[in-house]
Amino acid sequence: MAPTPRASRVELSALGGLFGSIELGSRDALMLTNSVPTSGQTALFATTTTQRSAPLVEGRVGVRVWRAVWVEGAASYARPDFAVAISADTEGAPDVTATSRLTQATADVSVHYRWEGRLAPYVFGGGGYLRQLDEPRTTAENGWTYFGGAGLRWRLAPASRGFMGRLSIRGEARLLMLQGAIAFPDDRGTTVSVLGGLSLTL
């Protein structure tokens, strides 16, 4: 009888994917008027702010803590564009969009529940640290990220097949909420990310 494969306790993952765009809202630029008897306000132009989608790379280390429960630590890197669209100018100036590129890094921790099997789903939730740096590299701000999602792992071979039995393809989607940093100082931004890559269990 073949020996039962030892249960893996550590997993290393390398993933890539897409960090979704975030609509940050619209505002009017207002100016006081000289109306009598009291001053009013008039809109000079309107602005709409967006953090655009961008490629994302991420590395993870997971540890099994109890049966189907794993804890994962991760670090990610992306360079999204921060765009401000200016429109409806009262003097008739053409619409224009000002764009600046951000460097965005995160470090987070999440708890996973994983089902067993060669093709196995999992669910997770967690949170962590967000840091954004502007294009001139003169301003850096910190914030927070919170997320939850689900994924699927497919082991390339039966668990008894040595190295190939410890190698898996994984893919997942997550819903994220970001707060603070450069793009989200006054409000929270919500988006999705989709990731896929390889995992090696030890």
The full set of domains in the chain, from first to last, is 10-18+57-81+101-201 (2.40.160.20)
- Residues 141-165 have pLDDT tens digits of 999 999 999 999 999 999 878 889 9
Positions of the chain with pLDDT lower than 50, given as ranges: 1-4, 30, 32, 36
Q: What is the pLDDT of residue 2?
A: 45
pTM: 0.83
Q: What is the pLDDT of residue 174?
A: 97
Q: What is the pLDDT of residue 28?
A: 53
How many other C-beta atoms can be found within 10 angstroms of the C-beta atom of residue 68? 12
